[in-house]
Amino acid sequence: MNEALLVQTQGYDPILPGASLGVMGGGQLGRMFVHAAQAMGYHTVVLDPDTQGPAGQASDQQIVAAYDDAQGLAQLAQAVAAITTEFENVPAQAFTALGKLNRVAPPAVAIAIAQDRVAEKVHFQHHGVPVAPFAVVDSPESLQAVAPTLFPGILKTSRLGYDGKGQVQVANLQELQRAWESLKQVPCVLEKRMELDFEVSVVLARGFDGSIVTLPVQRNIHHNGILASTLVLPGSIHPDVEEQAVHVAKSIAVATEYVGVLCVEFFVLKDGRVIANEMAPRPHNSGHYSIDACDVSQFELQVRTLASLPLLQPRLHSPAIMLNILGDLWFDEDSDEPRHPDWATVLSYPGVHLHLYGKSQARKGRKMGHITITAKTVEVVLNNAAKVAAHLGLPQDFAQANV
């Protein structure tokens, strides 16, 4: 049996608590994976060049090395029984190399697709996944060939764009030309701007054996390209929308022979159609509520998929609203001196769960943590979330989300 086939076959063998699991990346998603793994009895090893990263603080061990450092990768592969990632911008080649040495999930090919919007759109189209009309802009000739029907649109860099970065709205060919120049003429995708009703996401887990489970469909609200709040309120999304989103998300996982936790973000159009926006080959910000509102969180699912443990369908035991906490809360409008938000008052409201990520320095726009509000009823969740948001000065768009 060759080495690659051996690793694939071993992917079906359970890795039991007491073993060590590895994670590429030291951010907050890695930190929450570490917490979930440790709660289940596993040891953890993080590879991250930052000695002060959130995941490294919590992990049993950290390998301080660049993500493409051959020696560091070999050390990680030798130290653990299996390896996952907490962000999609880990070099796909590094994950390919790790896959030759050890069990990995997700597969490197899924990471490579998610890193490149052009590859992602083409992959979606090839497998019949509905997407917004688009065109690739990677040369002056391709720019001039853009169809007028794609305006107004959004020009997005093909690589390294997240949380609204690398995106410019354009209304015509002239604006497209200026926008492409402002983005240094890197390869881009122009997407037609659609008439959106709202946005949703699906977090699923797929095992080595092909079994799939999903979290409830999540309704998301963004500000300046960054997720502001996630609503998981029974009855707030039409069943047809939920069915479309789950079906497409599962089809994407199957098409990429995916193993691990996957998030697919969708636009819900005014006419009720659901189109895919992008996928993230990892747990997702919009799934954080599952730690407090479900009997199996997205991070426990990440552990279970990596370790080939049985996948259980998560059960939502409480309606929930998740509020993202950015570094802006540490600053008054007229001051650059940080101060601590009033967490004591926030925690006086029932059903409030505070999660801070251990980041040493608050910066405006930086994700510092999240708050999940749970309760027995949708009405109580909305009421308590409004109180928390008002106290912290957070947007309350969720109150008008037709729920």
List Cβ neighbours of 123 (8 Å cut-off, separation of 6 or more).
113, 255, 256
Contact 266, 171 (CB under 8 A): no
Query: What domains are there in the chain, each with its CATH number?
Result: 3-104 (3.40.50.20), 133-192 (3.30.1490.20), 196-395 (3.30.470.20)
pTM score of the predicted model? 0.94
Q: According to the annotation, is 164 in a ligand binding site?
A: yes
- Chain center to CA of 9: 28
pLDDT in tens, 60-96: 999 999 999 999 999 999 999 999 999 888 899 999 9
pLDDT, position 5:
41
Looking from the CA of 117 toward its CB, the CA atoms found within 13 Å total 27
For range 252-271, the mean pLDDT:
96
Q: According to the annotation, is 192 in a ligand binding site?
A: no
CA dist., res. 369 & res. 31, Å (int): 12
Q: According to the annotation, is 260 in a ligand binding site?
A: no
pLDDT in tens, 307-352: 999 999 999 999 999 999 999 999 987 777 889 999 999 999 999 9
Q: According to the annotation, is 156 in a ligand binding site?
A: yes
Q: According to the annotation, is 162 in a ligand binding site?
A: yes
Residue with tokens 């443990």: 309
Rounded (10°) angle between helices 28-39 and 298-306:
70
Q: According to the annotation, is 161 in a ligand binding site?
A: yes
Q: According to the annotation, is 278 in a ligand binding site?
A: yes
Q: Where are the alpha helices (DSSP H) in 172-317?
A: 173-182, 239-255, 290-293, 298-306
CA dist., res. 132 & res. 152, Å (int): 12
pLDDT, position 3:
45
In the chain, % of residues over pLDDT 70: 95
**138 DSSP 8-state letter:** -
Q: According to the annotation, is 166 in a ligand binding site?
A: yes
Higher pLDDT, 161 or 55: 55
